[in-house]
Amino acid sequence: MTSSPKVRVLENSYERIVLDFEGVTPALLNSIRRSAIAEVPTLAIDEVVFYNNDSVMWDEVLAHRLALVPLKVSPLEGYDALRDCYMHGNDCAALFVLDEEAVERVKTIYSGHLRFEGFEGLVGGPARINVEPVSKKIPLVKLARGQRLRFTAIARMGVGREHAKWQPTSAAAYRFAASVRVISEPDEETAKSIAAVCPRHVFGVEDGRLVVKDVGACNTCRECQDRFPEYVSVTWDSSRARFTLESVGGLPAWKILVTAMDVLEEKAAGFVEAVEAAIRGAGPEN
Ligand code: SF4
């Protein structure tokens, strides 16, 4: 009988979620990690129609820059409606316009100059869905005096597997929990040297004895083991891991994680269905 996994949330802010998992295989953690990076749909600028571009930057380069501006959908139910729209194969596009001119002096055009105009296609969900750049301070291009920039940008839903502009995470990683053991008792002086060598203060010396007082702080650098191999051993436990996920700002980190697991669940259900249908189609063997 397998024991159920244990999960502990260590940090849960908008940008970052950190969890400790126990009793979970590396394969499962890696599937969640890959799903978060490559399978969670997000909105990104996908097409730009230029009417005026007097700047020194070519249309293609500027369009590429625009695509990399992370976009935030609010409220969160609006994101769910867009995801539904995308999953049903519909083209639910968000339209932005920008019309700026450098009249008297050089003007820097920022992501904040993008103006959301609404959606093309039926999105559903809440009555009012807003889309805006995660930061209004991302520089896009500089216009010299007299230059004008005017375009319509079309943002579409997509996944990181297709292009990095749709990737919702800036980091998704896990590391196994360290296992630090004192394999033979050093004398007090050596114990103090071992404790001093550790940059993360994992060891302590109590009553003259070397003790592991904070194994959670160990980053498995192995400095202690390299310097004192006869006294300490550092390995890792692949059934316990710390999982960290950081958002680029378009979605809360927890939402990326939950959606990544939803995607995995849907894929697994589709796979089970396909296998069962194939078995039914083949008919009974006897
Ligand atoms: S592996 Fe590095 S961090 Fe971990 S206990 Fe040894 S010295 Fe400290």
Q: What is the pLDDT of residue 1?
A: 42
pLDDT on residue 216: 86
For residue 73, what pLDDT is reported? 94
Nearest CA to ligand 1 atom 3: 218
Q: Which domains does the chain have, with CATH numbers?
A: 1-40+168-286 (3.30.1360.10), 43-165 (2.170.120.12)
Model confidence at 72: pLDDT above 50: yes
pLDDT at residue 123, rounded to an integer: 66
Closest by CA position to 86, among listed 37, 110, 119, 111: 119
What is the C-alpha to C-alpha distance for residues 176 and 219, in angstroms, rounded to an integer? 10
- List the residue whose alpha carbon is closest to atom 8 of ligand 1: 198
What is the distance of C-alpha 190 from the center of its chain? Answer: 43
Mutate to test the pocket of ligand 1, among 194, 202, 205, 232 (most ligand atoms within 8 A of CB): 202
Under the banding of pLDDT at 50, 70 and 90, the label for residue 187 is very high
> What separation in Å is there between the alpha carbon of 131 and the centre of ligand 1?
46
At 11-49, the pLDDT tens digits run 999 999 999 999 999 999 999 999 999 999 999 999 999
Does 202 contact ligand 1 (Cβ within 6 A)? yes
Residue 125 pLDDT grade (very low, low, confident, very high; cuts 50, 70, 90): low
Task: Kindly report, residue by residue over 126-153, the tens digit of the pLDDT.
Answer: 678 999 999 999 999 999 999 999 999 9
Residue 3 has pLDDT above 80, yes or no: no
Pocket test for ligand 1, best of 234, 236, 237, 242 (most atoms within 8 A of CB): 234
CA angle 106, 108, 112 (to 5 degrees): 150
Give the pTM.
Answer: 0.85
Q: Is the pLDDT of residue 2 over 70?
A: no
Between the CA of 197 and the centroid of ligand 1 the distance, in Å, is 8
What are 210's strand-pairing partners? 205
**What pLDDT sits at residue 91?**
82
Two structure tokens written together for 85? 């729209």
